[in-house]
């Protein structure tokens, strides 16, 4: 048997998608690959197959705990809720899901809009050129998730730094990752103890009270890990996607100008950008087949792991018309940018709202927004699970 090709196929270059995905979707939608660490794994590239792996109970995340899981880093760490299957996963997810319903998120829109305007005030005061990442993209999601959870926003420099441990592949050493995780978990432990003494109207208090009311339902470690995970995931991806979205709009033909002419397109534009932008630098979180499953014309044997490429699925030409074209008014858009199935992003509605508010605010306040440096001078993150800009200097 031929040696499986190394994966990811190439280092992530900006927001470009490796052309091999298109060939694989046509010719070999399920292919064996090898990540830097762990056992060989199948890679699914078509939309239908990715949905099956993510949503079918015949594929398990929990089984990975006992296997040499394919991964991008040498270290192995407890993935918490991301490593669980229902009903254990459901037990934890249900605890926080009420905080992220569409109704609850809409109640946060007004305050989020006020925060966005305040941050854009700071951007304008700094004068062009100013860094959109530092002035808007980073602080806004942090403030929103802090308010929701009940975390002091004044501690953002600490926990934003520590959160890199959760998305790092090679940007941090194994020792740094462990130290950052220890710091993050220790920080959350202190906040939980504080909430026991001084309850407040926030998600952290609700989690603590659920734990204390029924210790069999939730362990102390689960509360700590879940709270830390929500804090990190609740801002890291949105912090990255805001500048990604703005960059694409400013560099795509008629992107920013189209939205300026028709701001009512913002909701559909956010969905299209979620489809179009390949946020993940690699695939992760393998699912293991619990029984033989036919997938993409291939028989996946029980016990074999499968990875999914959401970026490839979102460019599937059998699902999306002209998939490599940014269509801000795309009417039918079943993208998988927030995942699918049991592990569909619990904060999807929150992220949607934040992304909409930021774009609406920038369109209103800075319609002449443009890059302040040549595109070739922009710098990109490396060694992380996500692709994104380290800075986005803009003028207006």
Rounded Cα–Cα distance for residues 141 and 135 (Å) = 12
Tell how strand 130-131 and strand 59-60 pair up: unpaired
Structural tokens at position 95: 């605890």
CA torsion, points 61, 284, 345, 162, in degrees to nearest 10? 110
* Contact present, 239 and 142 (Cβ < 8 Å): yes
Rounded Cα–Cα distance for residues 126 and 107 (Å) = 31
CB burial of residue 159 (10 Å; 0-12, 13-18, 19+): buried
* Contact present, 70 and 177 (Cβ < 8 Å): no
Tell me how far apart the terminal alpha carbons of the chain are, to the nearest angstrom: 57
Chain position carrying tokens 């669980």: 84
CA torsion, points 319, 321, 323, 328, in degrees to nearest 10? -120
Rounded Cα–Cα distance for residues 55 and 49 (Å) = 10
What are 364-382's pLDDT values in tens digits?
999 999 999 999 999 999 8
Quote the pLDDT of residue 243: 98
Rounded Cα–Cα distance for residues 209 and 150 (Å) = 14
Quote the pLDDT of residue 1: 55
Tell how strand 370-371 and strand 393-395 pair up: antiparallel
Rounded Cα–Cα distance for residues 231 and 181 (Å) = 12
Structural tokens at position 136: 């808007």
Rounded Cα–Cα distance for residues 246 and 123 (Å) = 15
Q: Residues in the chain, how many?
A: 396
**C-alpha Rg value of the chain to the nearest Å:** 21
CATH of range 20-395; options 3.40.30.10, 3.40.50.720, 3.10.290.10, 1.10.630.10:
1.10.630.10
What are 253-263's pLDDT values in tens digits?
889 999 999 99
Which positions of the chain have pLDDT values less than 50?
Answer: none
CB count within 10 Å of CB 106 equals 11
* Contact present, 60 and 79 (Cβ < 8 Å): no
* Contact present, 162 and 180 (Cβ < 8 Å): yes
Q: Return the closest-CA partner of residue 283 out of 66, 14, 72.
A: 72
Tell how strand 293-295 and strand 130-131 pair up: unpaired
Helices (H) and strands (E) in the chain, counts: 15, 10
The domain spans of the chain are 20-395
* Contact present, 372 and 395 (Cβ < 8 Å): yes
């Amino acid at each position: 048997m031929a040696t499986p090709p190394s994966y990811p196929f190439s280092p992530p270059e900006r927001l470009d998608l490796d052309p091999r995905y298109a060939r694989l979707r046509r010719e070999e939608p399920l292919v064996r690959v090898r990540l830097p660490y762990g056992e060989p794994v199948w890679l699914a590239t078509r939309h239908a197959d990715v949905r099956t792996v993510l949503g079918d109970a015949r594929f398990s995340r929990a089984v990975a705990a006992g296997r040499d899981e394919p991964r991008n880093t040498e270290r192995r760490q407890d993935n918490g809720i991301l490593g669980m299957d229902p009903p254990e996963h459901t037990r934890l997810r249900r605890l926080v899901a009420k905080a992220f319903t569409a109704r609850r998120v809409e109640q946060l829109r007004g305050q989020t809009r006020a925060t966005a305007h305040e941050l854009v005030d700071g951007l304008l005061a700094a004068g062009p050129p100013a860094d959109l990442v530092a002035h808007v993209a980073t602080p806004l999601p942090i403030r929103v998730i802090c308010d929701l959870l009940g975390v002091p926003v004044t501690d953002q420099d600490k926990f934003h730094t520590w959160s890199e441990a959760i998305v790092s592949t090679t940007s941090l050493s194994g020792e740094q990752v462990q130290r950052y995780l220890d710091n993050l978990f220790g920080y959350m432990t202190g906040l939980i103890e504080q909430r026991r003494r001084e309850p407040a109207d926030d998600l952290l208090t609700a989690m603590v009270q659920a734990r204390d009311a029924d210790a069999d339902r939730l362990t102390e470690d689960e509360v700590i890990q879940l709270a830390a995970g929500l804090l990190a995931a609740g801002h890291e991806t949105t912090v990255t996607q805001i500048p990604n979205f703005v960059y694409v709009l400013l560099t795509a033909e008629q992107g920013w100008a189209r939205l300026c002419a028709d701001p009512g397109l913002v909701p559909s534009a956010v969905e299209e950008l979620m489809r179009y932008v390949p946020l993940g630098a690699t695939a992760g979180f393998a699912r293991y087949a619990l029984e033989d499953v036919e997938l993409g014309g291939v028989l996946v044997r029980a016990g074999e792991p499968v990875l999914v490429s959401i970026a490839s699925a979102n460019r599937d030409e059998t699902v999306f018309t002209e998939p490599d074209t940014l269509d801000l008014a795309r009417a039918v858009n079943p993208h998988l940018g927030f995942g699918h199935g049991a592990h569909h992003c619990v904060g999807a509605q929150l992220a949607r709202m934040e992304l909409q508010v930021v774009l609406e605010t920038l369109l209103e306040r800075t319609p002449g927004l443009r890059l302040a440096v040549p595109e070739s001078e922009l710098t990109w993150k490396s060694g992380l699970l996500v692709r994104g800009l380290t800075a986005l200097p803009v003028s207006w």
